[in-house]
Structures are given as structure tokens and as C-alpha cells.
Amino acid sequence: MSASEADLRPVEVPRPTRSNTPAVRTMARLRSERDTLRGLTEAGDPTGVERQHALGKRTARERLASLLDEGSFVELGLFRRRRDEGPATEGRRPRTDGVVTGAGTIDGRRVFVYAQDFTILGGSLGAEHAEKIHRVMDLALDNGAPLIGLNDSGGARIQEGVASLDGYGGIFRRHVAASGIIPQISVILGPCAGGAAYSPALADVTFMVRGTARMFLTGPDVIAAVSGERVGPEELGGADVHGARTGVATVVHDDEEECLEDVRHLVSLLPDNNLASPPGEPRGGDPQDDGRRPRLVEIVPAEPNRPYDMRDVVAEIVDDGDFFEIHEGWARNVLCALARVDGAVVGVVGNQPMVLAGVLDSDAAQKAARFVRFCDAFNIPLLTLVDVPGFLPGTDQEHAGVIRHGAKLLYAYCEATVPRVQVIVRKAYGGAYIVMDSRSIGTDLSLAWPGNEIAVMGAEGAVNVVHRRELRSAADPDALRRELVTDYRERLMHPYRAPEEGFVDDVIDPADTRVAVIKGLAMLRDKRREQPRRKHGNVPL
């Protein structure tokens, strides 16, 4: 072969393998950078994490890990951060912008969540932070799934001015748009101050943790500067204040672990949205259990003025004696709870004779009204246990607007279209009888125990009003009063007087209460009633 021919022969150049092409090398480098950045972002600032733990609080990601099923969390906006505005933001643009958002599952059911991260800019809300929350709220509504917010924030980010306030406005507007469509749960695990406090106030259920959760519009420093009053943050807006005095907190817990576990429990009792039914559970249990509960006769005294704990009655009626109490510490003269009866979720409202003899007052009426509307919005049947001597009398109550607040409860029951069962356990007097889901305001099934007393007022009070002149002129007023009281009871408060006139459907053996409630709810299972078309009613807020 000549030299010229050798020069013309093709030279075999080694072809690059798929593992070392420029594109593959570039992608590997970018993937490594991404993984490093993701790892650093998810790990958080060690100093901030340490400080959070020192305060007795978990990080946002630790909280989500406790709340959601393992491995179910899908994060949104991991790399998002504040816009670069030059020197004003230099070194202050951490990724996530102080809030972790996304979706996951609780016992296999999807929920959307956001968790504010106090280790980043104090969890303060700026424009990007707010937009991340807006997006997850929109997704929750679009997908018809519950929304859970874990709040731990210093409030509006002052450096971003009105943009922070606009961000809060967008959150509040979405809360209202989603109200009654998807369950909204707020969990306060740290500070929640200023405008931020309106977010949990607009939620359906608000949890707080003692010692770390604080919620107020104006903090202690502002109050001291304006009024000179000195008050600590716990005394001003701690969990016990909102759980027992203001009614803003629905559920109060001692620690985060217990709190987040209870959030999971609550979700198990709620439907995904207003078009779904609450999740049912198949009933197993003891095959020898015939549903009778003889202990109910022992729990409730025959004497109408002797107290007992209505929670003991509820425990005998619901499955496994288990119920989720709402506002346990506030307005304790009325009990509100979610429970299961024969596997189906029900909302229970009951007077509580252990507190103020079970009378209704302004706070109790508000508490029960809100709960009734919540149950009605999410297709949860209502069971009302009645033992009420009336509304609390007194100048304070009248001036506090007990008429207006009582009308809220009346409105809530009248508007409710879910199945409704009323059980008159002992006494039901006056206007309080009417508003506790009586037949006259639309209950579907009214049951009563044999010792029921339904009247305008108690016998003694009625006699003192109706026969005051005879008593004043009687030779022996006490003897006459006893005679008149006996006559009043026999004629107007006889246990079968209301059933005879159609105000009660059946008088049942107390031991058969659970069975009767199960049968009643089964009868009403397919109830459908549409309200007349209107923009909205004018509830007496």
C-alpha cells in the first residue's frame, strides 16, 4: 500500500460511551448540585433548628413527618425564595421562604398542608411565603380535600411592607371561599400574632399547644405602650386563654405529639368535602352486644335538679365510648362532640348538668350554633341530648345579648338539612326546649325518656307566677303551693303529655337509647332536603 493510500484510509476514533458524553456529565453535575441544595434546604440551618428545639418546639418538617403517613409528602415550592432586590435582600433569601407546602395522606386519605418554619426569618409572611400558601389552598379547594395549616410565625414581614398585608388578605379570602366546602384545620404551634390570627379564627377547628402557642392581635409590648397595661404573652393569648375564655381555640393539648395525633384523629371523622359523606367504619365488636345500655338508668338521677355528667351518657350511646369533644374548656354548660354510632359519624350536642345546671347562656348558644352549622355543612347527622332548665337569667346575660346569641342556635338548627334526632333525657323548659332541636324547629325524630318534663317552666316557678295571688292570701301558703305543684306536674308536665300532642314521637326505655338512635339514623340515612334558592340567609351574628 502506498503512502498516499494510507493517508486516505479512515481513522477509527473511539466513540464516547453514554456515560461520559458532555450532556450526561452536565446532567450529573446539575443533579448533584440539586441534591446538595435539596439536602441543605431540607436539613435547615443547624443554629435555627437547635434554637427551635431549645424552645420545646419541632421544626416544620418534623411536624409534617408526625402528621402525615410516612413517605406520602409531596412538596411544592422547595426552592422558592424572595425576589432579589439588591442590598435590601442580600444574604436574606433562604429557600422555601419560611414555609413548607404540599400534600400528603393521613391514613391513606389525601390532605393539603402548609407548615410555617420559624427557623427561617422567624416564619414571617412575605410575598413569596404567602403565594406558596395561596397555591396550596387553591389546590385543596380544586381537589376537594381537607386543608391543614401548621402556624408558627412572627407575623407579617415588616421589610416587605404592604405586600405582606396583601398576602394575608389573599389567605383570608381563600379561607372564606373554601368555608363549608372543605374542612379547614389550623394548628397553632408557636406565635400567631397580628393579622395572622384571623386565619385560625376563620378555620373550622383550631388546635393550640400549651406553653408554646400564643395568639393575639396586639402583643404585650404594644398594649404596654398604648395603655400602660403589663401582661405576659401567655396570659394575653395562651392556649388556656383561648381554650377556656375566648373560645377561639377548639382543642388544647400539652405537647405537639399529642396535638398532631389528635389532628389525625379528627381527619378520620370528617369527609373530604361537602359533597362527600363522612368515612364510615364497619362495626365488629362483641356479637353478644344487643345495644342495650342499662347503666344509663344509673347515670341520670330521677330528681330533675340533681347533677350528672352528660359525657357519661354520650359514652354509653356512641361506639366504644369514644368521642372527640369540641371546645371542651369553653362554655362547658353545653357539650359538643364528634363520635360514631354503629360506625357512622354523628355530631352530638348535649346540655351539661354538671355546669350551671346545664342552662343555655350566650357562650353556650354560640358554641352549639357553630358546631351545628359545621356538622350540617359536612353532612354529619346530629344527635341532640336535652336536659335544660332554660336560659340563664340575669342582667349580665340580657345585656350581653343572650337573645341574639340564642337566635344563632335557633337559626342553625332551623337551617340544618342533615338527619336530626332529639332525645329528651330529663327536663326541657321554656325557650331552651325549643332551640334544642325540638319538633317545632324541624327535628326529624324526637324521643324521650319516661321521666321527661317538657313545659314552659318548672312546676315551682310556674305555680309562683300563675297562682301568686292565691298563695299570698292563703292561710297555709306552703301546703297550697305543694298541692298546686303536684297538680301542675300531673296535668302539664306528665311524661306522656307531649307525646299525646305529637311533640315527641316515642317514649323509650333509657337502656334502649343507643338502639333507638341507631334505628332512627338508619331510617333517615337517605334524607334529602334542598333549601329554597337565595343568596344567603342573614344569620344573627
Here the CATH number for the domain that contains residue 424 is 3.90.226.10
Residue 310 lies in a domain: yes
* Residue 301 sits in the same domain as residue 361: yes
| Domain count within the chain | 2
What pLDDT was estimated at residue 177?
95
Catalytic option among 432, 455, 459, 462: 432
Catalytic option among 431, 442, 461, 511: 431
Residue 28 lies in a domain: no
Q: Is 194 annotated as catalytic?
A: yes
* Residue 265 sits in the same domain as residue 314: no
Q: Is 401 annotated as catalytic?
A: no
Residue 152 lies in a domain: yes
Residue 14 lies in a domain: no
Cβ atoms of 436 and 386 closer than 8 Å: yes
What pLDDT was estimated at residue 314?
98
- Rounded-to-integer distance, Cα 515 and Cα 520, Å: 9
Distances (CA, A) of 132 to 80, 162, 278: 9, 17, 29
Q: Kind and range of the H or E element at 363?
A: helix 362-377
* Residue 258 sits in the same domain as residue 370: no
Q: For residue 206, report the phi and psi dihedrals to the nearest 5 degrees.
A: -125, 125
Alpha helices by DSSP H, listed for 233-361, are 233-237, 239-241, 256-269, 295-299, 310-317
Catalytic option among 194, 219, 237, 451: 194
What pLDDT was estimated at residue 88?
53
Q: Is 195 annotated as catalytic?
A: yes
* Residue 226 sits in the same domain as residue 263: yes
> Which three three-digit cell numbers place residue 316?
354509653
What pLDDT was estimated at residue 398?
95
**Which residue range is the domain that position 264 belongs to?**
45-83+93-269
Q: Is 431 annotated as catalytic?
A: yes
What pLDDT was estimated at residue 3?
54
* Residue 369 sits in the same domain as residue 257: no
Mean pLDDT for each consecutive 10-residue tract of the chain (541 residues)? 58 62 73 67 75 90 96 90 60 80 97 94 89 96 97 87 91 96 96 90 96 90 88 92 96 96 98 94 77 95 92 97 97 98 97 97 97 97 97 93 95 96 95 95 96 82 78 80 78 81 94 97 88 78 82
What pLDDT was estimated at residue 109?
97
Cβ atoms of 318 and 350 closer than 8 Å: no
Full-prediction pTM beyond 0.95? no
What pLDDT was estimated at residue 206?
97
Catalytic option among 48, 170, 195, 343: 195
Residue 435 lies in a domain: yes
| Residues ≥6 apart with Cβ < 8 Å to 125 | 98, 99, 116, 133, 153, 155, 156, 157, 164, 167, 168, 196
Among candidates 440, 445, 361, which has minimal Cα distance to 400?
361
Task: Provide the angle, in degrees to the nearest 10, between the axes of the packed helices 362-377 and 402-415.
Answer: 20
Q: For residue 363, report the phi and psi dihedrals to the nearest 5 degrees.
A: -65, -45
